[in-house]
Amino acid sequence: MSEDLTKGGKIRPITRWGTPVMHAPTEPVTEFDEELHTLIRDMFATMHAAEGVGLAATQVGVGLSVFIYECPDGDDRIQRGIVCNPTIELPTGKDRNLDASDEGCLSWPGGYATVPRPDKAVCRGQDAFGNEIEVHGTGLLARCLQHETDHLNGTVFGDRISGRSRRKLDAEVADLAWRYSDDWPVTPKAKAAPLPKSE
């Protein structure tokens, strides 16, 4: 049902960490209308252009509780979907296994840090038409569901790492900033460093 919303959008600039919308809880989706569907189409176009596996509305500057994903699960099958008003359920006790993998974020491009997260997650919410849905995530999809739900709660993964790891992450991003223009991915990622300016 959501397939038609994965195509036909326009690429929007990706909002960076430090912008207020990235660090505030979002408003719930209450209208499952064409305005929402246009946003979703644009989010898919933006995510594809940025070569990401998930994108929250806050990452295109919209403080609305919706994210999209196109991400492999634990069996390397690509799962694609839209979740509005998500809640996340994580395993507890003996069912809780942490996966300490590297994590990145399109809103802090070029940087990666190890972020331990449960290797399974259940995300509940509504689809783009207001129908109740439940997504079971394993592997990278479990991480993606947690990462995107965090975004909608005003949390970036840099909030989940130590000060030392955050400084290293910020340095990586600063070193690669030349690749990402302010309107990236509207302007594609640069493939080579700019020439030094002559005196």
Please report the DSSP string for 147-175 in residue order.
HHHHHHTT--GGGGS-HHHHHHHHHHHHH
Nearest-angstrom CA–CA distance, 46 and 190:
16
148 is catalytic: yes
Tokens linked to 33: 């209308």
The catalytic position among 27, 148, 172, 199 is 148
Residues 6+ apart with CB under 8 A from 86: 65, 67, 123, 124, 125, 145, 148, 149, 152
**Catalytic residue list:** 148
